[in-house]
């Protein structure tokens, strides 16, 4: 349903590309949140499916991956959403037809999956200004204006947010920050390498901690992220861990893969014991 107008226009092109690549495909459409998980799980259980392709945004891909996690059936991610950040992380084309043609020629590779209080995520989980924005974002605004809609919401929240400090446990070390991003891929919000050393298959989580407070500090941090110069900031720390617990302030919202989770701090983030098989170039 997300990005539905774009997806409908692209379906015929994608199906044709997959069939030219030698795939015999059956189309199944989602109608509500959770449908992609159910459809992927049912397909994996049939025993006669080689791959589940998912055409949609990062949220749709996360749902489909949830249905396949623990099985040997790979996910074929097709870009059909607002930003398609996962495709940056996997080195895949951002044009649906080109992605479909390439996926037909790729082998399945293992990809780590994070768990935020048991809910799988593929790209990141975070708390701070971004989760505050996503928890209050009007879905109609995002549907109508895409990235611009998210930017407009973020601008208003940037002006009103009070940037509280979080207490965060990283493995066995406790730290503080006003923004914490637990990354599984290097990219965030599009082509921006917020966690440049993150890898999707290294069995670690890469945490980006920002300790700046206030609107000016946040604005300068965002500008630096856009130019890859945030790695030199004194108020930014990069930590590679296995376990994260976001302890306080209680009630702060969490976002995963660009969507509000619907849960709040305190919350625990780990790696899934199972990796996801995914069609992707050598990672």
What distance in Å separates the CA atoms of residue 166 and residue 19, rounded to the nearest whole number?
Answer: 50
What pLDDT sits at residue 157?
Answer: 73
Predicted confidence (pLDDT) per residue in 134-166, tens digit: 887 765 555 655 565 566 666 667 878 999 999
Quote the pTM value.
0.91
Task: Identify the helix (H) or strand (E) that includes residue 260.
Answer: strand 259-264
What pLDDT sits at residue 158?
Answer: 82
Instruction: Give which of 90, 138, 99, 130 is closest to 277, Cα–Cα.
Output: 90
Q: Which two tokens stand for residue 79?
A: 């870009």
Predicted confidence (pLDDT) per residue in 196-235, tens digit: 999 999 999 999 999 999 999 999 999 999 999 999 999 9
Instruction: Give which of 56, 40, 97, 38 is closest to 258, Cα–Cα.
Output: 56
Q: Band of the pLDDT at 20, cuts 50, 70, 90?
A: very high
Is residue 119's pLDDT more than 80? yes
What distance in Å separates the CA atoms of residue 1 and residue 30, rounded to the nearest whole number?
Answer: 7
- Sequence-distant (≥ 6) Cβ neighbours of residue 260 within 8 angstroms: 131, 134, 135, 137, 253, 254
Instruction: Give which of 83, 110, 120 is closest to 283, Cα–Cα.
Output: 110
3-state DSSP of 144-175 = HHCHHHHHHHHHHHHHHCCCCCEEEEECCEEE
Compute the Cα dihedral for 175, 181, 187, 192 and give only its sign: negative
What pLDDT sits at residue 102?
Answer: 98
Contact by Cβ (8 Å): 225, 234: no
Domains of the chain: 4-112 (3.40.50.10330), 119-271 (2.60.200.40)
């Amino acid at each position: 349903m997300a990005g539905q107008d774009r997806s409908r226009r692209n379906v015929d092109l994608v199906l044709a590309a997959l069939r030219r690549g030698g795939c015999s495909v059956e189309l199944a459409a989602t109608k509500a949140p959770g449908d992609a998980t159910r459809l992927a799980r049912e397909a994996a259980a049939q025993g006669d499916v080689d791959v589940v392709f998912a055409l949609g945004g990062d949220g749709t891909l996360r749902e489909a991956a949830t249905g396949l996690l623990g099985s040997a059936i790979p996910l074929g991610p097709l870009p059909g959403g607002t930003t398609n950040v996962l495709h940056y992380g996997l080195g895949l084309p951002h044009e649906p037809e080109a992605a479909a043609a390439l996926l037909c020629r790729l082998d399945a590779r293992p990809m780590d999956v994070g768990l935020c209080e048991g809910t799988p995520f593929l790209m990141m989980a975070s708390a701070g200004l971004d989760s505050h924005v996503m928890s209050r974002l009007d879905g109609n605004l995002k549907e109508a204006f895409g990235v611009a809609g998210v930017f407009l919401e973020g601008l208003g929240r940037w002006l009103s947010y009070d940037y509280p400090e979080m207490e965060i446990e990283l493995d066995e070390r406790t730290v503080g920050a006003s923004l914490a991003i637990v990354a599984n891929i290097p990219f965030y919000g599009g082509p921006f390498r917020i966690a440049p050393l993150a890898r999707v298959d290294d069995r670690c989580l890469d945490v980006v901690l920002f300790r700046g407070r206030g609107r000016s500090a946040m604005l300068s941090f965002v500008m630096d992220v856009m130019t890859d110069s945030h790695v030199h900031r004194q108020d930014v720390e990069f930590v590679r861990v296995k376990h994260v617990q976001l302890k306080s302030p209680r009630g702060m919202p969490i976002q995963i893969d660009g969507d509000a989770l619907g849960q709040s701090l305190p919350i625990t983030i780990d790696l899934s014991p199972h990796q996801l098989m995914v069609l992707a170039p050598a990672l």
